[in-house]
Structure 1
Amino acid sequence: MTDLADLLEDFGTALQHATTVFQMTEDEADVLRAEAFEQGYKSGWEDAIKAQSQDQTRISSDLAQNLQDLSFTYHEAYSQVVEGMAPLLNDMVESLLPKVARDALGLHVVELLNDLTRSYSEQPVEIVIATDNSEAVAPLLKGDFKMPVSLTEDPQLAEGQAEIRFGKVERRVDLTAVLHNIQEALRGFMHDNRKEVVNG
């Protein structure tokens, strides 16, 4: 049988034989210390610059994420407010505006009459309106326009439409088209808002 000491190396004896002593002068030691200090200082400076750069990158990234979250929150809140107002806006366009237009038709006709009176005085004027509009327009034509004014109903005209004729000159008031344009604009706005919410 072999002895365990024969199989394993004895490091204790190797150290006794391999003791080498390095000798250096004080100047060499100072140079070595200065180089070690410079290397440590340089490494520390590089680590500080790297850490600062990483902090700036992290702060910029966090700021960008916060701004994106804030922007999304604003758009989300805006969309919810618009969606909440949609029924009110639709009701206004579909019920309130037609009544306002019906009441305002007479005022538009009178305004056109006053403008045309300056240019075409003493020429007879024919105002053609839809049958449903005569109650709104007739009382306003009792004023003095310095020309004969006649009111005619035409069943082919839609509510909110009127034609004012001075001989060969004709002006048309079409509040129905204005209301239709407002309704289309509101529908387009609501559609765009919904599309923007879906697409982010």
Structure 2
Amino acid sequence: MRKAMLRLEVFETAAPDEEPLLDAEAAEKLRVQAYEQGYGAGWQDALQQMRDEDALREGAALEALQAISFTYNEAHAALEASFLSLTESLIETLVPEIMRLSLPGLVLESLQQAAARPARSPLALYCAPTARPALEHVVAAVPGIEIQLLEEPSYTEAQVALRVDDHQKTIDLDAVITQLRDAFAQQMAIKNIREA
């Protein structure tokens, strides 16, 4: 049995008596030049990385600013809608109740002013039949003047009229509420036109 033999290739190297291709001074210059090129390339890479990071930060800041602006607009719209809803609720529920409760005080003030002036005839106070019990206490609180408390079926609890001689003063809190409703409706119409 024959064994196959591998043939190896031999590479010749320079003979020890030949001069090296680079002397020590040229090798040092080459090393310094390679170092400086590497150092410069490192600085270029660092500067580029800084530019890239700055661009990323700037992009992120712009996105955040746009998100804040969008969020502000959304929050402003939601707050405005809540405020308008609250205002409408106040006009429809709370204001009428406040007006009803404030009517006796307004009537008392008007009666006191009328009592301070001389009059030829008694003062007539017209009110809704349901408002009479509350106003009887008010009439009793104004001594020294004759006051007739008369029921007017067409009046609401937020309406009264005071008549003495040729003068009449009307307190109509329903009209105030209607004016508030109209003003609110007008503002809503203006807002809707602006948004359209």
In which range does the TM-score fall when normalised by the shorter chain?
Answer: 0.5 to 0.7
**Residue equivalent to 1:180:** 178
Match in the other structure for 1:18 = none
Counterpart of 1:153 in structure 2 is 151
Within a 5 Å distance, the mapping from 1:24-173 to structure 2 comes to 77-121=75-119, 123-173=121-171
* Cα drift, residue 163 of structure 1: 0.6
**Which segment is superposed worse, 136-145 or 97-106?**
136-145
Give how far 1:187 is off. 1.8
User: SS of the residue aligned with 2:108?
Assistant: helix
Measured in 2, the distance between the counterparts of 1:137 and 1:95 equals 23
Instruction: Report the alpha carbon displacement of residue 158 of structure 1 after superposing the two structures with TM.
Output: 2.7
Aligned residues: 131
Match of 2:168, SS state, is strand
Match of 1:195 among 178, 184, 193: 193
Deviation per residue, 1:58-113 (Å, 9 max, x gap): xxxxxxxx9xx96x986664443221122222221111111111111111111111
Give the TM-score, by structure 2 length. 0.58
**What residue in structure 1 maps to residue 24 of structure 2?**
none
Give the root-mean-square deviation of aligned CA atoms.
Answer: 2.6
SS at match of 1:156: coil
Higher helix content, 1 or 2? 1
Question: Are 2:123 and 2:162, in contact at CA under 8 Å, matched by a contact in 1?
Answer: yes
* Displaced runs of 4 or more, over 4 A: 72-77
The answer to whether the 8 A contact 1:103-1:136 is kept is: no
Are the structure 2 counterparts of residues 80 and 193 from structure 1 closer, same or farther at C-alpha, using a change threshold of 3 Å? farther
Query: Which of 88-97 and 73-82 deviates more?
Result: 73-82
Flag the 1:126–1:194 CA change in 2: closer, same or farther, 3 A: same
Q: Secondary structure at the match of 1:135?
A: helix
Note if contact 1:122-1:147 (Cα within 8 Å) is conserved in structure 2. Answer: no
Query: Structure 2, unaligned stretches of length 5 or more?
Result: 1-64
Contact 2:104/2:134, CA 8 A, preserved across alignment: yes
Q: CA deviation at 1:181?
A: 0.4
Contact 1:122 1:146 in 2 (8 A): no
CA contact (8 A) 1:122 1:148 kept: no
Structure 1 CA distance for aligned equivalents of residues 136 and 111 of structure 2: 13
Contact 1:125 1:164 (8 Å CA) reproduced: yes
Cα distance in 2 between the residues matched to 1:194 and 1:78: 16
Larger RCO of the pair (alpha carbons < 8 Å, separation 6+): 1
Shifted more, 138-147 versus 103-112: the winner is 138-147
Greater gyration radius: 2
- Return the offset for 1:123: 4.1
Alpha-carbon distance in structure 2 between the residues aligned to 1:134 and 1:111: 17
**Sequence identity percentage:** 22
Unmatched 5+ residue regions in structure 1? Answer: 1-65
Q: Is the 8 A contact 1:79 1:194 kept in 2?
A: no
